Structure 1
Amino acid sequence: MTERLDYLNAYRQQFDAQVLAIEDRAGVPAVLLDRTCFYPTSGGQLHDTGLLGGVPVIDVVAEEGEVWHLLATSPSFAAGERVVGAIDWPRRYDHMQQHSGQHLLSQLIHQRYGFETVSVHFGREESTLDLNTAETPPAFLSEIEQAANELAYLALEIRAYFVDEQEVRRLPLRRPPAVSGLIRIVEIDGYDYSACGGTHVRTTAEIAPIKLLRLERRRHQTRLTFLCGLRACRDYAEKHRLLTETAGLFSTEIAAVPAMVQRMQAQMRELEHKHMELQRRLLSQETAALVAAAPRVGDVAIVEYLSPDASVEALKQMAALLREQPRCVGLLASTVEGKATLVFCRSDDVVLHVGEVLREALATFGGRGGGRPEYAQGGGAPAAAVAAVLAEARRRCEEALA
């Protein structure tokens, strides 16, 4: 058994201990101590990191009362020796703030709405709790955030202690304990009682500020993403910086940024509409010129077009215009960014299956494609071979039309 010093004092950062065993786990040295401050991953909370005998601790695992410390490199100490450990305090304190904040939020949400917290996760950047509801009221985020911060600023004491199974029945736990025997309780000064083995701050004042970021529906549950303490402060500072820089780009005040962005969006939509109209007119003129200059098989014009920079959308628009022309076949291709794209089409008064023409022409050069008799699309051939693909397609069209 490993004595858990973090149970007694989550603020303890250094300790000394006796090395009970050292073993290899998938090529990684693992050290068992008689006591430790290092918290192992459990209950949604990530493990501590730090140094053990000067060697970085990269993972901490609890197994049947034993806490194993996985090291980055082989240690210089051996079993039976004493060693000094030191946890990464900023990481630990961040985890403490998030975990205590989750207890406060879960109890608050349960009291206000009756929603139960079914799972939690404390990530490197954001923390989440999943609620047993698929729907939340419109003002849920703002109401809970304000109430949580008001509670936090009361500086309610947070303490941890052990009780037996008989005494635990007298406590108003949010959820029944998952273990038996002596049970560790984390209490927020008469407000919340939780069976928990995690690390926590001393008062709710250390949780603040609490920021609720978003809600996501996940099947029949709702995931709430939140930040607490210094993590929330850093998030505010970064977002304030970004918003200030954005306001500077517009030479305006921060409060005016949303309206400015809305105006820009409206202008962009108008410009995009005008651009599309101009592009349509240009393509219409270009298409008419291509048809006029195209060689014919009988009275059918075969338009062959290869562009190094035309988008797929432009090819589709050209195909739509060509299909409006009488007695016309279009063999269109682009090699933008070195990627071959081909679009074939024909007008309704031409008897020809351009999908088969495209598929057979591309297959000759290792490409794939196909489609309907009047429209087809494909690619996959080397960009350098597109001209040859078009030549092969033209040959097949001429044979079919002749």
Structure 2
Amino acid sequence: WEIELEDTVLFPEGGGQPSDTGSLLPLPTGSPVRVDKILRHGLSAVHYCSSPLPVGSEVLVQVDWERRWDHMTQHTGQHVLSGLFDTLQLPTLSWSLTASPSPCYIELPRAPSPAELAHVQQSANELIRAGTRVHVALTLSDETVRPETLPEDYVGGVVREVDIVGVDKGPCCGTHLPSLSALQSVYVYPYTSAVRGTNARVYFVVGPRVLAALAPAAEGLRQVSLELGCAQPEALEKVREVVAGGKEARKREQRAREELAGYVAKDVLAAAETVGEAHVGCLVREDDAPVPLEFLTTVSYRIREALDSEPGKEYLFALASSGAAGAPLIIFGTPELVARAGELVRGRMGNVKGGGKGRWQGKRVEGRWTEEEGKVLREVVRDAVGA
């Protein structure tokens, strides 16, 4: 429900700042009506409410103060940071007041250096400790002195200017604090993210969001240190050691799997039969690998490499495995024989799904390959060649 009041203390979305939330309490008695957002329509603030109210009702407007306080601290903090970045010839291109407790960000034409980020953070906190004042002034304007940032549909003629003494001054419709001392502290994250060309985003939190960011970070570091069995200052180096060890272990595992695939391929070839003019073979094995299809594929490559020494020789092989990660099946060889084998699998094994040309790939829909299904696969490769 859209409700317009004669006047309101709830801030409508604008200037990069989200709207307030709150409630309308009918007077003298009544149940409060929730206000989920407020949008500006021209010079009117339209309240989007949970239920309607009779025209002419008198209401007490109540603001969600925790949300308002959060928005005031982040917005005032943004003005401070933008003013300080201006001294580095880094004008603010845009900014975002995100939902709490996520960090807000300022977009700049280039990424500041770590030293510049540290300098801006230190300077901002010095201004906070000094209790720098924030003044708001209203001036009349016409089209000849209209600020570029003023919305096109705004025709009120009054321009509101926020002045953080000695730091930043400019038009702004947002809610601000009268003194920087109320911000308590500002934290500028020591990294940036690239956007659009050379532009970069600088992330920051102010006031209550600083503690909200610190608590999970400190607890996360504590938990990591406990898992690694080291002191917190040693956690980063320990993590690097674990990551490096993991990479080396995966390389060794890959080499071992490739070596094993070679031995398995030799066993499959040794057990292969000659049906007519073609080599045929079948393998059904247990495999606890997280990606069993990858191992079967490597085995198939080794078999192909061995058979390349007999150009023109027809062949057909079926490789299957069972494990917690699934029950894949690949059929490869002479394309015509693979096509026949695929048709036979579809006709004889209803719980197997798959397809492909030149290489048939599929899987058992559920569970593991049974001994009886292994026999059916062997019959499939023989019958495909003998068809």
Normalised-by-shorter TM-score class: 0.7 to 0.9
Identity of aligned residues (%): 24
- The 1:390–1:315 alpha-carbon spacing in structure 2 relative to 1, beyond 3 Å, is farther
Superimposed CA distance per residue, residues 323-347 of structure 1 (whole angstroms, 9 cap, x where no aligned partner)? 233365432345766866443444x
Quick check: 2:104–2:203 contact (8 Å CA) kept in 1?
Answer: yes
Cα distance in 2 for residues equivalent to 1:316 and 1:286: 12
| Alignment-mate amino acid for residue 62 of structure 2 | A
TM-score by length of 1: 0.76
Question: Does residue 39 of structure 2 align to residue 61 of structure 1?
Answer: yes
The equivalent position to 2:318 in structure 1, one of 331, 336, 341, is 331
The equivalent position to 1:71 in structure 2, one of 49, 52, 55, is 49
Question: Does residue 101 of structure 2 align to residue 131 of structure 1?
Answer: no
| Alignment-mate amino acid for residue 41 of structure 1 | E
Q: In the alignment, which residue of structure 2 is the partner of 1:42?
A: 14
The equivalent position to 1:162 in structure 2, one of 105, 119, 138, is 138
Quick check: 1:115–1:132 contact (8 Å CA) kept in 2?
Answer: yes
Question: Does residue 176 of structure 2 align to residue 204 of structure 1?
Answer: no
- Of residues 261-270 and 87-96 in structure 1, the stretch that sits farther from structure 2 once superposed is 261-270
Note the C-alpha offset of 1:382.
Answer: 3.9
Aligned pairs for 1:89-104 within 5 A: 89-104=65-80
Note the C-alpha offset of 1:257.
Answer: 0.7
- The 1:363–1:121 alpha-carbon spacing in structure 2 relative to 1, beyond 3 Å, is farther
| Alignment-mate amino acid for residue 86 of structure 1 | Q
Note the C-alpha offset of 1:239.
Answer: 0.3
The unaligned stretches of length 5 or more in structure 2 are 26-31
**SS of structure 1 residue aligned to 2:330:** strand
Note the C-alpha offset of 1:156.
Answer: 1.2
Question: Does residue 292 of structure 2 align to residue 317 of structure 1?
Answer: no
| Alignment-mate amino acid for residue 51 of structure 1 | S
Quick check: 1:106–1:116 contact (8 Å CA) kept in 2?
Answer: yes
Quick check: 1:357–1:397 contact (8 Å CA) kept in 2?
Answer: no
Note the C-alpha offset of 1:263.
Answer: 1.7
Quick check: 2:12–2:39 contact (8 Å CA) kept in 1?
Answer: yes
| Alignment-mate amino acid for residue 295 of structure 2 | A
Note the C-alpha offset of 1:352.
Answer: 3.8
Question: Does residue 345 of structure 2 align to residue 370 of structure 1?
Answer: no
**SS of structure 1 residue aligned to 2:131:** coil
Q: In the alignment, which residue of structure 2 is the partner of 1:186?
A: 162
Cα distance in 2 for residues equivalent to 1:284 and 1:219: 49
Quick check: 1:322–1:329 contact (8 Å CA) kept in 2?
Answer: no
Cα distance in 1 for residues equivalent to 2:114 and 2:49: 48
Note the C-alpha offset of 1:188.
Answer: 0.4
Cα distance in 1 for residues equivalent to 2:39 and 2:231: 51
- The 1:378–1:127 alpha-carbon spacing in structure 2 relative to 1, beyond 3 Å, is farther
Note the C-alpha offset of 1:392.
Answer: 8.0
Quick check: 1:358–1:378 contact (8 Å CA) kept in 2?
Answer: no
- Of residues 295-304 and 218-227 in structure 1, the stretch that sits farther from structure 2 once superposed is 295-304
Note the C-alpha offset of 1:43.
Answer: 1.9
| Alignment-mate amino acid for residue 90 of structure 2 | F
Superimposed CA distance per residue, residues 97-148 of structure 1 (whole angstroms, 9 cap, x where no aligned partner)? 1111111111211221x22222222111231222234x54454433333333
Q: In the alignment, which residue of structure 2 is the partner of 1:228?
A: 206
Cα distance in 1 for residues equivalent to 2:68 and 2:3: 20
TM-score by length of 2: 0.78
Quick check: 2:322–2:368 contact (8 Å CA) kept in 1?
Answer: no
Cα distance in 1 for residues equivalent to 2:202 and 2:375: 55
Q: In the alignment, which residue of structure 2 is the partner of 1:121?
A: 96
- The 1:353–1:383 alpha-carbon spacing in structure 2 relative to 1, beyond 3 Å, is farther
- The 1:337–1:39 alpha-carbon spacing in structure 2 relative to 1, beyond 3 Å, is farther
- The 1:278–1:55 alpha-carbon spacing in structure 2 relative to 1, beyond 3 Å, is same
Superimposed CA distance per residue, residues 215-253 of structure 1 (whole angstroms, 9 cap, x where no aligned partner)? 221122222222111102210121011112222233322
Give the number of aligned pairs.
360
- The 1:392–1:255 alpha-carbon spacing in structure 2 relative to 1, beyond 3 Å, is closer
Aligned pairs for 1:252-401 within 5 A: 252-298=230-276, 300-305=279-284, 311=291, 312-326=293-307, 329-333=316-320, 341-346=328-333, 351-352=334-335, 369-370=355-356, 373=358, 376=359, 378-379=361-362, 382-383=365-366, 395=380, 399=384
- The 1:161–1:391 alpha-carbon spacing in structure 2 relative to 1, beyond 3 Å, is farther
| Alignment-mate amino acid for residue 301 of structure 1 | V
Superimposed CA distance per residue, residues 296-320 of structure 1 (whole angstroms, 9 cap, x where no aligned partner)? 3245132343657552322222222
- The 1:361–1:321 alpha-carbon spacing in structure 2 relative to 1, beyond 3 Å, is same
Quick check: 2:341–2:384 contact (8 Å CA) kept in 1?
Answer: no
Note the C-alpha offset of 1:198.
Answer: 0.5
Question: Does residue 222 of structure 2 align to residue 250 of structure 1?
Answer: no
Note the C-alpha offset of 1:396.
Answer: 7.1
- The 1:218–1:394 alpha-carbon spacing in structure 2 relative to 1, beyond 3 Å, is farther
Quick check: 1:306–1:333 contact (8 Å CA) kept in 2?
Answer: yes
Q: In the alignment, which residue of structure 2 is the partner of 1:16?
A: none
The unaligned stretches of length 5 or more in structure 1 are 1-28
Cα distance in 1 for residues equivalent to 2:240 and 2:284: 40
- The 1:290–1:314 alpha-carbon spacing in structure 2 relative to 1, beyond 3 Å, is same
**SS of structure 2 residue aligned to 1:36:** coil
